[in-house]
Amino acid sequence: MNNDRRKFIRQVGSLAIGGLALSSCVHYVPHNVRDGMIVIRKSDLEGKRNFMVRPAGSAAPIFVSRDDKEQYQAVLMLCTHKRCTLRLVGDVLECPCHGSEFSPAGDVLSEPAEQALSRYAASSDTNNIYIKL
């Protein structure tokens, strides 16, 4: 992603009011934890492509997103630079501490962070999404 696009997304995200900038509106969804697996019912998503869960004991929320191929990806919203909790700005996970940026898949887009976010294996069936802790 080039800098102009990132800047534009950031500006749109900061102008978000209510549900206008949909990718910036990320909500926690209900979940259960069973046998080391987070289970999220698709019926609880209300069509959301991006959402968060925070299981008990987690150092930060887990950001879950669905890509165009209907595959889910899940990353820990904890910066790999100095462990600040990330926030979603546009379609980028941004660190409020020193400005690192990450893709929804956890790849580093901007330093100072050099390591990708912690990723969790995610899968789904007709009714549920499963994230392996």
CB-based contacts of 65-69 (< 8 A; 24+ apart in sequence): 65/104, 65/105
If one asks whether residue 110 binds ligand FES (CB under 6 A), the answer comes out as no
Angle at 14 between CA 73 and CA 44, to 5 degrees: 40
Taking a C-beta distance cutoff of 8 angstroms, is the pair 55, 61 a contact? no
Rule CB under 6 A: say whether 109 interacts with ligand FES. Answer: no
Stretch that binds ligand FES, among 57-65, 81-89, 114-122, 124-132 (CB under 6 A): 81-89
Q: Is 98 in the site for ligand FES (CB under 6 A)?
A: yes
Lookup result for tokens 């926690």: 28
Contact between 5 and ligand FES per CB under 6 A: no
Q: Which helix (H) or strand (E) holds 20?
A: none
Minimum distance of ligand FES from residue 96's CB (angstroms):
8
Contacts with ligand FES, residue ranges (CB under 6 A)? 79, 81-82, 84, 95, 97-100, 112-113
